[in-house]
Structure 1
Amino acid sequence: MRTFMHGSAVWDVVCPQRPSRVAGLTMAGFRVRDLEGLQIVPHPAVTLLLEFGAGAPVLDCASRQQRGSLVAGPGLGSGGAVRARGENVECVQVRLSPVIARAVLGTSPADLDGAVVSLGDLWGREASRIREQLGDVPSWQDRFVLTDALLARRHEAGTPVDPEVSWAWHRIAVSRGLIRVDGLAAEVGWSRKRLWSRFRSQLGLPPKRAVKLVRFDHAAHRLVAGESAARVAADTGYADQSHLHRDVMEFTGATPAAVANEPFLAVDDIAWPAAEHPPRHTFPRELRPGRGPEVRPLPL
């Protein structure tokens, strides 16, 4: 367990000792005594929050609140409209690649319709059983093993997305959003209309929005690492610094300088150490021959 300190934020953070059995699934454990007004910054993953502590996290989303274990689609927090708070919070946070989220959750991210959904509303009594089981096991590593086994079973029994949709998502992700989406349909041999429709219905956002979100996420983490906005804009595919500023404002409601100091982003190097546990994404082999350049494992 490591202690994360950033301004007034003090959290205990734990990482699994082993990567998940499911490609595209990562997780981290958090213990926070006082979570006050944390702004949620959009991320290109489906978020699954499994709480089990004495206190329950609360997400304030515009005019409504969501308490306890929850699920949210890619881009949670867009516009700076979502904040988290709570006392004595203990939880396992899971990030699901959109291409595996439908199988794991039992519903498409598109069915979430951009909202934060109670896990109890989605899984019924199973959500309560998971909470009890996580509270009963003696250690964080046991909790990770339990969570991974549960989600692996759901993934194996679930319905996968179309391989063409999976290919298109990975092409976007591996390029960090630096790809022309108009060429994706030709790569998989589908019409543009068919790919756009399937991508949206199975992953929860259209391809152009996915490109924009992935590019923003990469840029935001470089801002947190201390790089200048001008350098980040030049290196991450923005037309200029003003273009970066507009996208950051759209996704967070804040300036690049403010986003660079967000604890939600700063904790990533501890909670999601990609160098230690890189996501093991695979690509549909049947789509590779003659379908554009070979793609390497996803770096996100």
Structure 2
Amino acid sequence: MNEKQFDKVKNGKGFIAALDQSGGSTPKALAAYGVNEDAYATEDEMFTLVHDMRTRIITSPAFDAQHILGAILFEQTMDSKIEGMYTADYLAEKKGIAPFLKIDKGLADEANGVQLMKPITDLDETLKRANERHIFGTKMRSVIKEPNEEGIRAVVDQQFEVGKQIIAAGLVPIIEPEVDINSANKPACETLLKTELINHLDQLTDDENVMLKVTIPTNVNLYKELIQHPRVVRVVALSGGYSADVANEKLKENAGLIASFSRALSQDLNANQTDSEFNETLGQAVKSIYEASI
């Protein structure tokens, strides 16, 4: 583990940029960026275009270590290059930003009010490659829709089981049990989730550390105990479908919770913007998210 990056992520001011749109969400991300599906004919062409988008974001002067602690990458991005360097090396060496890797394979069908992760059958190989590419940490997502105690326990059990394998590989896992912002019982889901998370955190040893990525809670400062837990490096929040303005306002209410936004970071960027327009728009988004995070 890179101790300099660990200290920055744990103690620095800023937020985590989520640039990890995967195969299923890439067409939507490209469309929002002004690149329609008729611009590509194959999956490879699609991924090339989204890597171009990510490259433009990462190389922008607005994307800097003063405001951004880390960036989450899609697996294909990890194996792609920016200005002749693998993306993680470019982030760490040129930008001073810690690189994370999305490792989950998507969501299973809903059962007991939740969607577990699909099995990660190539986890050992992925973690080996992540170390070779100088990745600092990982991210994996589940979704909670109903306050079903059995379902929520299964989500957290699965997340920590995989998380311990990631820790053993020398990486820091971001455990992400997202609570659907559209759930009619969102506060009850969050209360049950908090209990399960604390139970698992209390069982970690002194050399086992995790990060948590959560939906901004309905009840302000609900996750204070998680933020203060000695085994938690950082608690970050997903925007979850909220607009940037709404996500930022909700985030500001929660002391110690920092952003890990995707859509809220890039929602106003467009492929047709000039470099000056693009950098100014990204800079405004970065600063607003940064201010909400501190």
Whose relative contact order is higher, 1 or 2, with alpha carbons under 8 Å and at least 6 apart? 1
Same fold, judged at TM 0.5 (above): no
Normalising by structure 1, what TM-score? Answer: 0.31
